[in-house]
Amino acid sequence: MLNNHNTMHKTDHNQSEKHTRERFQLKETIVTITSEKRYIPAAKDAVRSCRSDLENFIRKDPFFAITLDKYRSVHPNTPEIAGRMIEAANRFGIGPMSAVAGTIASMAVEAMVDAGATYAIVDNGGDIAMINDETVIVGIYAGESATGISIGLEIEPTDSIIGICTSSGRIGHSISFGNADAVTILSGDVSLADAAATAVGNAVNGEASIEEAFSIVSGVESITGCLIIIGEHIGVYGSVRIVEAPQRPEYITGAWI
């Protein structure tokens, strides 16, 4: 069984009438897929392929699935999913499973785009990959944080895939050494966004640590924004458009990977 290093606490987006939302589970992986109905099978096939490749790789090297440190082993014929995870996580010196959910989501959306989709969202337990030809509001579920409002991120239309990935030290099955209610990263590299959310989340230990935590992603060009919620405090780095968004529990996707 693949272990989760991600979270299960974010996703709430508006949906056009022409789009279908479908939940899909394969073993521990639970994703919510939103697009035109004809593109959803491509996402499911990609999830199946990703899991198969990753499971086979982990059978050859079980250490890959448990290490919390930078992965330095070199393997011939490393599958693409594992290679992306290693590259993203090594950027922050953490274990490759920190990027698993975002990588699966990204490869699923890529398959939908290859099939012709211009609006496709895959939410893998709060780690989201999307391409959107209309504005989307992504809600942030931060549990019992005392912010006083329900927060969402407004995502303008884009013709390229972006990642919106979240980690938490308080909610879900994430492995986090911090105590943030939510750390959300925005990036054009979804695998990197997932790993960065874990790395930044590890560094959050109270309000005073927010600025130092942001330094982890400062200067990482492909990361465009970061949001940290801890109790009643909110920190923002980069380009993040915050809006009020009512929580819709039925949109929250719980997932192991």
Chain segment 6-32, per-residue pLDDT in tens: 333 444 455 556 899 999 999 999 999
If we measure between CA atoms, which residue out of 242, 182, 243, 187 comes closest to residue 213?
A: 182
Give the per-residue pLDDT at 2.
Answer: 39
Percent of the chain scoring above 70 in pLDDT: 81
Distance CA 222, CA 75 (A): 27
Query: Phi and psi of 225, rounded to 5°?
Result: -165, 160
Q: Is the pLDDT of residue 5 over 50?
A: no
Lowest mean pLDDT among 14-23, 85-94, 161-170, 238-247: 14-23
pLDDT digits (tens, 9 = 90+) for 63-105: 999 999 999 998 989 999 999 999 999 999 999 999 999 999 9
Angle in degrees, 0-180, between the axes of helices 190-203 and 100-114, rounded to the nearest 10: 160
For 68, other C-beta atoms within 10 Å of its C-beta total 17
Within-domain flag for 256: no
Give the per-residue pLDDT at 14.
Answer: 52
Task: Judge contact between 167 and 179, C-beta under 8 A.
Answer: no
Within-domain flag for 183: yes
Contacts of 234 (CB under 8 A, 6+ apart): 147, 151, 227, 228, 242
Percent of the chain scoring above 90 in pLDDT: 68
Report the CATH number that the domain containing residue 114 is assigned in CATH: 3.10.520.10
If we measure between CA atoms, which residue out of 126, 228, 119 comes closest to residue 181?
A: 228
Within-domain flag for 7: no
Mean pLDDT of the chain: 86
Within-domain flag for 9: no
Within-domain flag for 61: yes
Task: Judge contact between 209 and 43, C-beta under 8 A.
Answer: no
Query: H or E element: which one contains 127?
Result: strand 127-131
Within-domain flag for 4: no
Within-domain flag for 257: no
Domain count, the chain: 1
Q: Summarize the confidence of residues 213-222 as an average pLDDT.
A: 92
Lowest mean pLDDT among 4-8, 224-228, 237-241: 4-8
Within-domain flag for 133: yes
Q: Is the pLDDT of residue 115 over 70?
A: yes
Give, as one character, the DSSP assignment of residue 62: T
Q: Is the pLDDT of residue 163 over 90?
A: yes
Q: 257 pLDDT band (50/70/90 cuts)?
A: very low
In which domain, by residue range, is 136 found? 20-251
Q: Summarize the confidence of residues 133-144 as an average pLDDT.
A: 82
Cα angle: 244, vertex 21, 186; to 5 degrees: 50
Q: Summarize the confidence of residues 216-236 as an average pLDDT.
A: 92
